[in-house]
Structure formats: C-alpha cells, structure tokens
Amino acid sequence: MSTNTSNNTQNVFQEIISHCKEYGFIFPSSEIYDGLSAIYDYGPYGIELKNNIQQYWWKAMVQLHENIVGIDAAIFMHPNTWKASGHVDAFNDPLIDNKDSKKRYRADVLIEEAIQKQEAKIDKEVDKAQKKFGDTFDKEMFLKTNPNVLRVKEKIGGIEARFKKALEENNLEELKQIIVDLEIVCPISGTRNWTEVRQFNLMFSTEVGSVAEDASVIYLRPETAQGIFVNFLNVLNTSRQRIPFGIAQVGKAFRNEIVARQFIFRTREFEQMEMQFFVRPGEEMKWYEYWKEARMKWHRSLGFGANKLKWHDHLKPAHYANAAVDIEFEFPFGFKEMEGIHSRTDYDLTQHQNLSGKKLQYFDHELDKSYVPYVIETSVGLNRTFLALICNGYKIEKLEDGSERTVLALPPFLAPVQIAIFPLIKKDGLPEKSREIMDVLKWDFKCFYEEKDTIGKRYRRMDALGTPYCITIDHQTLQDNTVTIRERDSMKQERISIEKLKEVVNEKIDWRAGLR
C-alpha cells in the first residue's frame, strides 16, 4: 500500500473541497442562488465533525480545568463595547488593489507571502545539502555558515525590520514602497500596477430599532473575547473562582474580510473557541508560556505530525497585546495561522472600566489589594481546525490489487460516524440481527446502518467519511454471536464477540489519550 503524494498541492486542495461537498461535510451557502462569497454551510457529516471538535476543545479547556468556566454571550453587544475594545478605531486591514486585474489584496499579506518565499529558499538549500551530505549533515552549522543561506537571511531580516516599523507607525506609504521594492506582482494580472494602500474596517454593522429615526448602529461581534470581558464581574461574583482563573466561550464571529479565499480558511462568518485567563499583574509571562505549551499539546493530540505545526511570533502584536504568537498548521497552501495566543495585559478590562464607569477589579486577599487583572488569551478557529483535520486526513491510497481508495484519517474520537453496521446480505435474519446491535450501540456511539451495495463499496464509502470502525454481521454471527470489526486505516479485520464490542470500541476511540 502506498500513499499518493501528488506534488500539485493546488489540485489536492481542489479535490479536498470537492470531497467535502460530495460527502456532505460542507456546502457553499445558498447554493441554489449561486452561493455567497466566503460563506459556507455545514452538512450532515460536517456538523457532526464540527460539534465533536468543539466538544473536545470544551473538555480540554473547561472540564479538565477546575479554574475555567464557560459562558455563552450574545452576538450583539452594546456599541460602546467596540469603542472600548479599540475595534471601531483600529480593527483595520491595509488594502491594496491591482489596477489591471481589479483584484484587492491585504498589503501585509502580500509582504508576508514574499517573506515566506524567501524562507522557502533556505529550506531548499537545506534539503539539497541534506541529500548531498547524508548522515554527516549538520543542519545547525549549515544554517550558520552557508553563504547562500546567510545572504537570504540578511535579506529577510531587512524586509522584516522595514515591515515591522511600517506596521508600528501605521505608515501606509512605506507598506506600498515595500511592495514596490520587493517587485511583488499580482498573481492574476502578473503586473505591478498597484494603487495606494488604504485602511478598511472589518466590522459588519446593522441597525436595531423599529423605525429608521430611532435606530442605532450596532455591530456583529468580530471576536467572541469581548463577551467574556464585559461579563468578568458577573462570572467572578457567581462562580466562586479566584485568580488565576479562566472564562471560555465558543461562538460565531463576523468580519468583512477583504481577501476571503481558500475555502473555509478565511470566511466572513466563522466560529472561534476562545479562553481568557485572568492573572496577577506581573505573572502574565509565566502563564503565557504555560498556555503556549498546553495549546500546542492540544493540537498535537489531533494527530498532526510535529512537522505540520509551528510557532509564528508576531512582528507587531495587535493593539491590545504585549506578546503574541500563532500556532500555524501546514495547509496545502502553506503554513497559516490556526490559533493565536496573546498576552492582552489589562488593556480590555481597563478600557471597559473607563468607558462604562464600572470598577472591573479583583480584590486579592493574599496581596491585600485590588487590581485590574492581566489576561492571557487563547483563540482558535473552529472552522480552521476543521479544515486542518480534513487536509491532514485526506489521502488516496493505492492498494495491493491496483485499485485505489480515498481515506479520511480523522482521529477516531472526532469522526462524524464512529461505527458503521453492515449486514453482509439483506436476508436470512442478518438485517434484524444488525438492528439489534445498532439499538445497543447507538446509546454510546454515533452509528450508521447500511444494507445496500456490496460490502466492499460500503467499506469504501465509510473510509471516505472517516469512519474508524465497520462491523459486519454474517451467518456465523447468528450461530456464535460474533461479528467482524474492520479498522479504517489498516483495513485489518478481527472477529470479536458482540458482548465485547462496546468495550473494544470504547478503548479505541478514547479521547483522553492525547491530553494525559
């Protein structure tokens, strides 16, 4: 058995998108009206996978931490929320248009991609040298001494320094100049005919109120975090928590993204899983490091190989943060942010305290004083995690008999269907026996019953959906109460007694293993 490793990653990504539609994971929104750009709906298997990811995050963050509690705040919030948080003034992206293709880009993303291209040159040099020198290759030494690598590193350093300064000073002319100097071309028109860089606020607004004159503008929340900050006192007063403690939330967020492509990677409506951890001022770096490790462990527990995940330190942390790092996953279109971890200082609580006039402080009995707590935030995209799992699990395998199968190797505890139940044929009492088994197992597992088609076809369909276990009921079952259980990845089949099924599957789909 060999894995098809097509180099054409763009084609693979298109295949993944088609797979998601064909197998009922994701559909374009309002498709009968030709869809709506950068908005998607989740189908019967998509919603199961999305719910499972969300629940797994909730278990890891809330159930396993005595000092983290959850909330579910409304999407609409008082408009002052967004004044205080800085989103009205500063939640902008720098835009640039190509005059020939009329396509719009984020200026910062164009520059980041140019930096990534330079970094890829270093990786290429390393690969070349590794092949040449084999086991004797000293990567660290090579990176420190190879003249080609040093030249590229110097170039990257120069671009990054200019880029960081331009972002810090909000210098839009300089951003444009960097794009010009790096000779960045529009991927559509292939030209360098750029407009000036402009700022664009990403919040969607709408109106509340029954008549136009009375209506006032409110925003659809661009992050779930603010629902946590404005509820800080409510939670503190009702949950018996003491610092350090966290508040977690999962919910929709909305951003009028300029560059909304790459399927569900960047959409205008999406879901975040966020946790704000309130700590003593001065202790924030200790907790920042703690949450960095804890969150990386969570991502690894999803079955992503070590080389699929990496850290990306922010050159310019957002307006509210004094330290920030992303966990990036290698999607088919490159390493991209999946989660952001921010040390948000006391920025948000102080801002809300100032604008609302309510004291958002904590009395620390040990220190015998009140203060505005500092905050470490972990914020991961639910949809991006979904996409990473699909990209990581999707493969086309060539089998020994020359045929191919499509497999979605999802972690068993997240799979939309955990057990498929198949009577070998549609008669002789096998469907009835299968239903009996289904009626027992469905209380503990997400099961799927199927009696149509050959057993081989039924297995293939379940492989493509990511179902980790298929149970087949045959004539022997009626005699000795045993079934065959087939494992998705190895395709191995084993005969076990019906009484043992629950115990065996439970052990195989245990969600706890990766978090211990």
Q: What are the residues binding ligand GAP (CB under 6 A)?
A: 223, 225, 255, 257, 266-267, 270, 272, 274, 337-340, 377, 379-381, 383-384
CB nearer to ligand GAP: pick between 383 and 482: 383
- Nearest residue to 411 via CA among 468, 327, 471: 468
In this structure, are strands 482-487 and 493-497 parallel, antiparallel, or unpaired?
Answer: antiparallel
Report whether 256 contacts 268 (CB < 8 A).
Answer: yes
Dihedral angle, C-alpha 341, 343, 347, 350, nearest 10 °: 110
**Residue 395 C-beta: closest distance to ligand GAP, Å:** 24
CB nearer to ligand GAP: pick between 87 and 458: 87
Tokens of 242: 């003491």
In this structure, are strands 40-42 and 216-219 parallel, antiparallel, or unpaired?
Answer: unpaired
CB nearer to ligand GAP: pick between 339 and 474: 339
CB nearer to ligand GAP: pick between 122 and 225: 225
- The residue sitting closest to ligand GAP, measured at its beta carbon, is 381
**Residue 419 C-beta: closest distance to ligand GAP, Å:** 31
**Residue 320 C-beta: closest distance to ligand GAP, Å:** 9
**Residue 216 C-beta: closest distance to ligand GAP, Å:** 25
CB nearer to ligand GAP: pick between 185 and 259: 259
CB nearer to ligand GAP: pick between 318 and 396: 318
Report whether 376 contacts 343 (CB < 8 A).
Answer: yes
CB nearer to ligand GAP: pick between 268 and 433: 268
Q: Work out the number of other CB atoms within 10 angstroms of the CB of residue 230.
A: 22
> Using CA atoms, how far apart are residues 70 and 62, in angstroms rounded to an integer?
7
Residue that the structure tokens 């914020």 belong to = 379
Q: What is the crossing angle of helices 172-181 and 107-133, to 10°?
A: 40
Tokens of 116: 């990534």
- Nearest residue to 381 via CA among 439, 321, 326: 326
Report whether 183 contacts 117 (CB < 8 A).
Answer: no
| Cα 30 from chain centre | 24
Report whether 301 contacts 511 (CB < 8 A).
Answer: no
> Using CA atoms, how far apart are residues 353 and 357, in angstroms rounded to an integer?
5
- Nearest residue to 229 via CA among 350, 68, 383, 410: 350
CB nearer to ligand GAP: pick between 97 and 274: 274
**Residue 502 C-beta: closest distance to ligand GAP, Å:** 36
**Residue 344 C-beta: closest distance to ligand GAP, Å:** 8
Report whether 40 contacts 28 (CB < 8 A).
Answer: yes
**Residue 387 C-beta: closest distance to ligand GAP, Å:** 9
**Residue 179 C-beta: closest distance to ligand GAP, Å:** 22
CB nearer to ligand GAP: pick between 383 and 484: 383
> Using CA atoms, how far apart are residues 239 and 241, in angstroms rounded to an integer?
5
